[in-house]
Amino acid sequence: MTVWFANIYHTEIAGNGLDHWLYALGATVVLFLALKLLFAVLERRILSLSKKTSTIADDLLAAALGSTKSYILFVAAVWGGTRFLDLGSWDMHFDFALLIAVVLQAAIWGNRMVSCYITYYTDARREDNPGAVSVVQGVSFIVRLVIWSVAFLLVVDNLGYDVTALVAGMGIGGIAVALAIQNILGDLFASLSIVLDKPFVIGDFIIVGELMGGVEKIGLKTTRVRSLSGEQLIFSNSDLLNSRIRNYKRMQERRIPFGFGVTYQTTPDQLEAIPPLVKSIIKGVEGLRFDRAHFKSFGDSSYDFEVVYYINSPDFNAYMDAQQTINLALCRAFAERGIEFAYPTRTLYMHRAGDGAAGEGDS
C-alpha cells in the first residue's frame, strides 16, 4: 500500500510530479484567500479613515478597492501557484494572463474612481448648477474611453504586437472623425468652458445680441434660454461663447437714467426747486442711491430735466417698483406746487384781416 501510494505521489503529469501539482494547488488556494483578505482589510481600513476626513481622495481609493474582482485575484493566485511547476512554454502564457488581469483590474479601478468622483461632483452641484452636472457626466465618458484605450494598447504591446501602426491608424482615423464632428466637439469643449469659467449659470438673465432671457439648461451641445415672451431660445455653445454676453444677474447695482419735461409756463423759481425736490424723493426710497438731477435742455415743448440714480439690486421688478414710487411722488409734489408736466403742444396765432397772414408756431 505504501509503495502504491509512493508511486502515485511521484507520478509525473505534464512533466511535473504529483507532489508539485499539490504544492501548486495549495499555493493557489492560500494565495487567493490571502489576496481576498488583504484587499478586504485595506478597503475596511480606508473606509474607516474616510469617515474621519473631508477629502475625496480616500473615498475614491476605498471605492476602487471595493471594485477589485475575484476572478482577477484568482488569475494572480493561479500564476503564483504555477511557480512551483515547470510548464515550459506555457509559463509565458500564464505571464500574459497575469499581465492582462493586472491591466484589466487597473482599468476597472480607474473607471470606478472616475464614476465615484462624478457622483460626488454632481451631488454637490445638482441643485445650484445642474448644467455643470450634465456636462461633467458627458466628459466622464471621454475619460473612461481614454482609460480603456490605454489599457487595450498596453495589453497589445506586451503581447508582442507593434502598436505603432495601430496608434498611427487610430490617429488618422481620429483626425477624420474629428473633422467630421468638429462642430460637435467645439460645442462639447465650449460647454466644458462654460462650466469651468462660469460666464453664466442656470437662472441667470442674459442678453446675446438682440435676444434675451433666463438660462434654463446648459447641455453638451446647446444652451437653452427662456425668453421674456415665453418661447425657448436655443444657442450653440460655441456660438454663444463667441458672442458678447450681458449677464444681468451679476449686476451689483443698476444705473437708472430717466427724464421728464415741464411746461414753458413754469417759473424760474419753480425750475430751480425741481432738482432738490427730485433728490429728496429718491433719497426717501429705500435701496436707492441718488447720483444727479439737472435742468438739461430746452425742448420743443418743454423744459427738459435728466435724473440718474442707482438701485442696489439687479432685479428688474425691484427697479420698476422704485421707478413707480418716484413717478407717483413727482406727480403729487408737482401738483402741490402748481408745476405741470409738459406734453407736445401747438399754438395757433390768429391775426385780423389786413394785419398779415395767419401763422402757426410750435411751443
pLDDT in tens, 212-251: 898 888 877 788 899 888 889 988 888 888 888 888 877 7
Question: Which residues, at least 6 apart from 86, have a Cβ–Cβ distance to it below 8 Å?
Answer: 15, 16, 20
Torsion angle, alpha carbons of 304, 310, 315, 316, to 10:
10
Domain termination site, one of 143, 158, 184? 184
Contact 271, 262 (CB under 8 A): yes
171 and 64 inside one domain: yes
Q: Provide the mean pLDDT of the chain.
A: 79
| Cell numbers for 278 | 427730485
Phi, psi of 312 (to 5 degrees): -85, 40
Contact 72, 47 (CB under 8 A): no
The total number of structural domains that make up the chain = 3
Task: Tell me the CATH number at 217.
Answer: 2.30.30.60
Paired residues of 232 in beta bridges: 226
Phi, psi of 49 (to 5 degrees): -70, -40
- pLDDT at position 104 is 85
291 and 218 inside one domain: no
70/108 Cα distance (integer angstroms): 12
Task: Tell me the CATH number at 261.
Answer: 3.30.70.100
Note the pLDDT tens digit of each residue in 307-322. Answer: 999 998 878 888 999 9
45/26 Cα distance (integer angstroms): 28
Domain that includes residue 177, residue range: 2-184
Task: Say whether pLDDT at 174 is over 60.
Answer: no
Tell me, what DSSP letter sits at residue 312?
S
Note the pLDDT tens digit of each residue in 180-201. Answer: 455 666 777 777 777 777 788 7
Domain termination site, one of 184, 215, 235? 184
Give domain status of residue 222, yes or no.
Answer: yes
- pLDDT at position 209 is 84
170 and 213 inside one domain: no
Give domain status of residue 189, yes or no.
Answer: no
Question: How far is the CA of 216 from the CAs of 54, 115, 208, 213, 238, in angstroms?
Answer: 32, 26, 15, 9, 17
Burial (CB count <10 Å: 0-12, 13-18, 19+), residue 60: buried
Give domain status of residue 351, yes or no.
Answer: no
Domain termination site, one of 142, 160, 184? 184
pTM: 0.48
Dump strand ranges (E) for the chain: 12-13, 16-17, 205-208, 211-218, 222-226, 232-236, 245-247, 254-262, 288-298, 303-311, 346-349, 359-362
pLDDT band at residue 276 using 50, 70 and 90 as cut-offs = very high
- pLDDT at position 48 is 83
8 and 117 inside one domain: yes
112 and 214 inside one domain: no
Give domain status of residue 129, yes or no.
Answer: yes
130 and 32 inside one domain: yes
Paired residues of 262 in beta bridges: 303, 341
- pLDDT at position 132 is 57
Torsion angle, alpha carbons of 78, 81, 85, 91, to 10:
40
343/300 Cα distance (integer angstroms): 10
92 and 6 inside one domain: yes
132 and 222 inside one domain: no
